[in-house]
Amino acid sequence: MALKVLIAPDKFKGTLTAKQAATAIARGWKAARPVDRMTLLPTSDGGDGFGPLLGKLLGIVLIT
């Protein structure tokens, strides 16, 4: 029986963004259980990375 899986990691500070972490977790999960349906939802605890993550979700363009 296939499962519905929500993958919602924060970043791995200094190594992976939240999106990269979600993708890596999903890749490993799919290797073990290829029939499961996954939803990736990179998240943040409100610290470093919160602004860029929220900006991407909202389609905000950074002006410097």
**pLDDT tens per residue, range 3-55:** 999 999 998 989 998 899 999 999 999 999 999 999 999 887 787 778 877 88
What does DSSP assign to residue 12?
B
Q: State the greatest distance between any 2 C-alpha atoms of the chain, in Å, as a whole number.
A: 50
Amino acid (1-letter code) at residue 60: I
Is the pLDDT higher at 20 or at 64?
Answer: 20
Distance CA 19, CA 12 (A): 10
By CB atoms closer than 10 A (0-12, 13-18, 19+), residue 45 is exposed
Q: What pLDDT is stored for residue 43 in this prediction?
A: 85
Cβ 11 vs Cβ 51: under 8 Å: no
